[in-house]
Structure 1
Amino acid sequence: MVRRLFPQLFLACCLLTLSTGVFAGTDGNISDKLLQAFHKTFPDAQQVKWAETEDRYMVNFKQGEILTKVEYDKDGNFLNSLRYYSEKSLPVNILCRLQKKYADKKVFGVTEVTSDSNVEYYIKLEDAQNWITVKSNVDGLMQVVEKYKKAS
């Protein structure tokens, strides 16, 4: 089941990125209350681009080297977020377990998926022959959810 969810998550990310390009930069319809809450939560946000759909607001921005996408409902309530970053931004407990369990692999990138009730980390690893995606929860429990052979 997890293998079926990951491609859907990837597709959702792609669609979010494309839809944001269509609506980017328009914050005229965003309520002052939501804008104030956003700036209070993310005071260092750069390259901020808002998008609006029928039932939600989406905002893309960077904080340092971390690319972030956050979705809010029309009432300004947080729905979920995606953050893309390198291994150095992983929580220490996950980084230590990752380095121990996959010492022979290199971290290509991390996607952090957060909802109201859950945080998951999708860590893309590589070696000479494979691409591997490891899913971790906040406690550092890990499982391989994808594995692909590299083209030769």
Structure 2
Amino acid sequence: MKNLILSTAFILAITGSAFAGSAEPANEYVLKTFNQIFKEAINVSWTNTGNHFEAYFVGDNNVKTRALLDAKGNLVQTIRYYKEEDLPSNVLYAIKREFRDKDIWGVTEVSNKNGVNYRIVLRDDKNYTHVNANSIGETEVVSKYKRGDK
């Protein structure tokens, strides 16, 4: 019985993700805004999440990006995934000053009506540390995990 439930859940998940990945923007407003803002986008894939359309693509400097637009073509949010070299200098300085013994492993930048925030993963020999930072360089440690790869 357990195998039947797991198999059914797996098939439904595969079927659902196949349909979600092939959605195209529903209207010209979404495409117009997207093409104006993200001229350099390559490998664009779209999903429709109800009243919003999400584009996942590779943008400038090979930065992986997600853009969420509403049906009127308004940009609601962007999420960018990158490494240390693309952080703004003031945020990079604050992180390097406060966490001298850690390397920046990855950055998730979230930009929306509330501003720009950075979720930064730091690592050292023993731990991963998750830090939130804002656009003026204020930081907050969110969590710390022991590395499982050591």
Superposed pair shares fold, TM > 0.5: yes
> What TM-score, normalized by structure 2, do the two folds share?
0.81
Supply the distance in 2 between the matched residues of 1:112 and 1:21 (Cα, whole angstroms). Answer: 27
Per the TM alignment, residue 26 of structure 1 is displaced from its structure 2 partner at its CA by 3.2
2:41 maps to a residue whose letter is A
1:128 match: secondary structure: coil
The answer as to 2:76 corresponding to 1:106 is: no
Partner of 1:38: 34
RMSD: 1.7
2:46 maps to a residue whose letter is W
Aligned identity (percent) is: 31
Distance 1:22 1:89, change over 3 A: farther
1:53 maps to a residue whose letter is T
Partner of 1:140: 137
Supply the distance in 1 between the matched residues of 2:63 and 2:75 (Cα, whole angstroms). Answer: 19
Partner of 2:49: 53
Give per-residue Cα distances to partners, 1:27-63, cap 9 Å, x unaligned: 2x43222212111101100101111122211110101
Distance 1:119 1:21, change over 3 A: farther
Which is further off, 83-92 or 51-60? 51-60
Distance 1:53 1:115, change over 3 A: same
2:108 match: secondary structure: strand
Per the TM alignment, residue 103 of structure 1 is displaced from its structure 2 partner at its CA by 1.6
Partner of 2:72: 75
Is the Cα contact below 8 Å between 1:129 and 1:150 reproduced in 2?
A: yes
2:115 to 115, 118, 132: 118
1:121 match: secondary structure: strand
User: Runs (4+) of structure 1 moved beyond 4 Å?
Assistant: none
Count of residues paired in the alignment: 133
Give per-residue Cα distances to partners, 1:51-107, cap 9 Å, x unaligned: 112221111010132110011122222221211000100001011111111121011
Supply the distance in 2 between the matched residues of 1:31 and 1:59 (Cα, whole angstroms). Answer: 14
Supply the distance in 2 between the matched residues of 1:121 and 1:45 (Cα, whole angstroms). Answer: 22
Pairing 1:21-36 to 2, within 5 Å after superposition: 22-27=19-24, 29-36=25-32
Q: Which has the larger radius of gyration?
A: 2
> What TM-score, normalized by structure 1, do the two folds share?
0.80
Supply the distance in 2 between the matched residues of 1:94 and 1:36 (Cα, whole angstroms). Answer: 32
Per the TM alignment, residue 124 of structure 1 is displaced from its structure 2 partner at its CA by 0.2
Unmatched segments (≥5 aa) in structure 1: 1-18
Partner of 1:95: 92
